A = this chain, B = another copy of it.
Amino acid sequence: MRTIDPSDLDFLLLGLLGGGPRSGYDLRKQIAESPLRVYSDSPGAIYPALRRLARRGWIAEGPPEGPRGRRAFCQTPRGQSAFVSWLRRPVEQTDVMGSGEALLLRFAFMGAVLPRAEIRQFLERFEEATAAYLASVRRHYESRAAALPATGRLALEYGIADFESRVRWARKARKELDEEGPEDRKGGD
């Protein structure tokens, strides 16, 4: 008997609710407004996800209150702490190998919750793991590229350029966070 890991969408919804109570419809709109279309805003994804979160006790449904009897969801204390420990999960090699969307989602939410030192640490780990994976893709490229048709080789170069771009981003992000000045506090008030 194992605990099934919630999906990325589950954590996205949980995180959005960290900004205050919202209805399912509000959440859908908020996701639909995001320019990077990476998570689904379809009702068939959102509402079942909300039910999963509620079953877990991570969110609670308030009474009908809004203009049309819409029921707002909010984080429970257990939900909040589950969300924070999701943010704090160590960055594994396997996390950076695919599209890395889950890591980015976590990063996007960190600013509102975690102290800057932890965010820095996350970026360092992110850069390290991505660079390590990049090196392995490069090795593969060196050994196999000659045997590929031109477009196959170029597709591999696409992947390499992608991971290079991620490494550069991580470095830049770390620098920007460092330069942002120590004046603003972590998440206390």
Contact = CB atoms under 8 A, between A and B. Distances in A.
Interface residues of A, number: 43
A162 interface: yes
A124 interface: no
Interface stretch (A20-28, A46-54, A70-78, A109-117): A109-117
When all copies of this chain in the complex are counted, the total is 2
A37 interface: yes
Interface in A136-177: 136-137, 140-141, 149-152, 154-159, 161-162, 164-166, 168-169, 172-173, 176-177
Can you list the 10 inter-chain pairs with the closest CB atoms, starting with the nearest?
A111-B151, A111-B149, A108-B155, A35-B140, A165-B165, A36-B159, A35-B137, A154-B173, A99-B99, A110-B151
Contact of A108 (B110, B151, B173): B151
Contacts of A156: 35-36
Contact of A112 (B140, B149, B158): B149
